Amino acid sequence: MENPTSAVNPERNSSWDTDVLIIGSGAAGLRAALAASEHTSVTLITKTTLTESNTHYAQGGIAVAMNLDDTVALHIKDTCAAGAGLCDAKAVEMMVSEGIPRVAELLDWGANFDWEGTLPRFTQEAAHSRRRIVHKGDATGRETTDVLIQRVLNTENIHVLQNTFAIDLLTDAGTSQEFQETATCYGVTAIVDQHVTSIRAKSTILATGGLGRIYPCTSNPKVATGDGFAAAWRAGCEMVDMEFVQFHPTTLFLDGAPNFLISEAVRGEGGQLINIRGERFMERYHERGELAPRDVVSRAIQIEMELTGFPCVYLDITHKPAEFIHERFPTISETTKHYGLDINIDLIPVRPGAHFMMGGIRTNTDTETNLKGLYACGEVACTGVHGANRLASNSLLECLVYGARAGTNAAAFAASQPSHPPDILPAGHTETSQTPDLDFIEAVKDAVRETLWENVSIERNGEGLRQTLAELKDLTINLGNVPATPAPNDIARIEAVNMLNVALMITESALERTESRGAHYRADFPTQDDSDWHRRILIKNNNPPKVISLE
C-alpha cells in the first residue's frame, strides 16, 4: 500500500488539488473510485483505515436476481413492498437490473463467495420471495471490501489518504438563499496527519456511510457518527426521508460483548425467535413469522421485552446440525464463543439496534445532489431505492450500482471544469471558540444517544419527540458549532456537532410525519395514512421541514 499521505505534504501546503475527491472507503466509495479512475485521477480519503466501514462488517450478503427461479421484476416487487409505498420505482429498477453485472463483475475480480455447483449458493432473508442472497459465509462485507480495496491499491491513479477526518465542504454558497440554489462544491476541509488542510476538487463524492453511533445500541462501527450527513446539511444540501432509521432486530445482548450483529441470514436459515418464557412469538405479529420485514420484527421484539419485563429475547438455531452452523456462520460462531456462548447448543440473546439510515442526501439516479459538483452514494445518499424500510441485503447492491454511477458521472463533470478550483472558504464554520473539555464533549454524545434511544427509536410519539427536540437544541447551544478555525484536536467536538445535527434532522422529520410507515412508528398515529402521507419530508439548513410529493 502506498504512503497514505502521498498526495500532500501538510507541512508545506495548506491545500492541494485533485480531479475527483471521494470521501469514504466502504463499498460505495471504493467502487466510485474504481469507476472514476478509468477517466481521471482520484483522491480517496477515509476517516480511519480503508477497512473500517459499515460494509466491512456486513454479514448477510448481496441481494441479486441471478438465481434460476428469480427475475428482476420479482426483486423490484419485493423491494417496493418493503419500502411501504415510498420507493422511487425508477431508482429501484436501475439498482436491481444494473446490480446483476455489478455482482458478476465482483465475482470476476475474485470475490470468493460460497458456491453450489455452477451457481452461487443463494440464501433466504426476510421479505424476499426468492433465495437471492449471495454470500461468503457470514462475512460477505469483508470479502467484498477486501476485493475492492486490493483493486483500488493496484490502480495507479488512485491516491489514498487514511486517518483523514473530513470537516466541511468547500462551496461558493454564500449566505443568500438565492445563491445557495446554484451553489457549487469544490472539495472539503480535513484534518490530515494533525494538520487542517483544504482538499480542492473539480468534483466531490460523499460516500461516508451511516450514523448508527448516534444510538447507544447499534450494529455500526465507531466511525459511523453521521459526519457526511451533517457536512452536506451545513453546506446546503437537501436531505430527505430522515425519519426512517432502520433497527436491525437481532444484535447480540451479552455482558461484556459489543453490540455485535447477528445476521438476518440466521433467521433465513431457520433460526427461531423465542421470549424468556420459551414461547415462539413472531407468528402473533406477522404471517411470515421470523421472515417478516425488519421493522415488524424489531417492534415485535420490543413488545415482547416490555410484556415479559426482560431486556432481550433469544434466537434459536440449535436445531440445525453443528457442522452446518459452523460452515454457514463462522464469524458469529467464533465471536459468540469468545464470550462463552456456543450457538450449537445455546440460545443467542438478542435485541434490536440501530442499523441503517434509509434517508440522506437527496440525489437523482445519476447521484447528483442539489450542489453542482457534489455527488453522493451509499448509505449517506437517498436515491429513494429503500423507501420507508430497506429490504435485507439491498444495501451492498446499492453501493455497487450507485457507487459506479457516481464515479463515472463525477469524472465526467471534472473533465468539464477549469484546471484549478477557486480559493474559497468552507461551509458550516460559524464561530471560533476554545475546544470544550473532552469529558463535556463525551457527555454531550451520551446525552444525544440517551434521548434518541428513549424517544426517537423503534417507537415514537409527539410528546417524546418534542421533548427530544428541546433537549437537542439546548445541547447545541451549549456545545456550539464547528469552529471557524478548527484545530487537529477538535475531532471529538466536530463529531459531537455532527451527531447533534443529524439527531435534529431525524427528530424534526419524525415529528412532522404524523402516521406510521415502515421503520417510522408513531404510537400516537399508529396507522399508515396514504391519503395525506404518501409523500416525503425534505430538510434543509435554516429551513423548517417541507413536505414534498413523490416524483
Angle at 152 between CA 150 and CA 153, to 5 degrees: 65
Taking the C-alpha atoms of residue 314 and residue 301, their distance in angstroms, rounded to an integer, is 10
DSSP-derived secondary structure letter, 264 = H
CATH number of 249-353: 3.90.700.10
Query: How many Å apart are CA 240 and CA 364, to the nearest integer?
Result: 12
Active-site residue 294, yes or no?
yes
C-alpha cell at 342: 456456543
CATH of domain 438-528: 1.20.58.100
Out of 294, 493, 522, 536, the active site residue is 294
Q: Are 394 and 133 contacting, i.e. CB atoms less than 8 angstroms apart?
A: no
**pLDDT confidence of residue 419:** 77
Does the domain at residues 15-244+358-415 carry the CATH identifier 3.50.50.60?
yes
Q: Domain map of the chain by residue range?
A: 15-244+358-415, 249-353, 438-528
pTM: 0.94
- Please tell me the distance from the alpha carbon of residue 498 to that of residue 493, in angstroms, as a whole number: 9
Q: Which three cell numbers stand for residue 200?
A: 480542492
What's the pLDDT score for residue 529? 97
* pLDDT digits (tens), the chain, 551 positions: 343 334 444 444 467 899 999 999 999 999 999 999 999 999 999 999 999 898 888 888 999 999 999 999 999 999 999 999 999 999 999 999 999 999 999 999 999 999 998 889 999 888 899 999 999 988 999 999 999 999 999 999 999 999 999 999 999 875 444 445 679 999 999 999 888 999 999 999 999 999 999 999 999 999 999 999 999 999 999 999 999 999 999 999 998 888 889 988 899 899 999 999 999 999 999 999 998 888 899 999 999 999 999 999 999 999 999 999 999 999 999 999 999 999 999 999 999 999 999 999 999 999 999 999 999 999 999 999 999 999 999 999 999 999 999 999 999 999 999 877 777 766 655 555 567 889 999 999 999 999 999 999 999 999 999 999 999 999 999 998 888 788 888 999 999 999 999 999 999 999 999 999 999 999 999 999 999 999 999 999 989 999 999 87
Measured CA to CA, the distance from residue 506 to residue 525 in angstroms comes to 17
Question: Could you say which DSSP state residue 201 is in?
Answer: E
117 vs 550: CA distance, rounded Å: 43
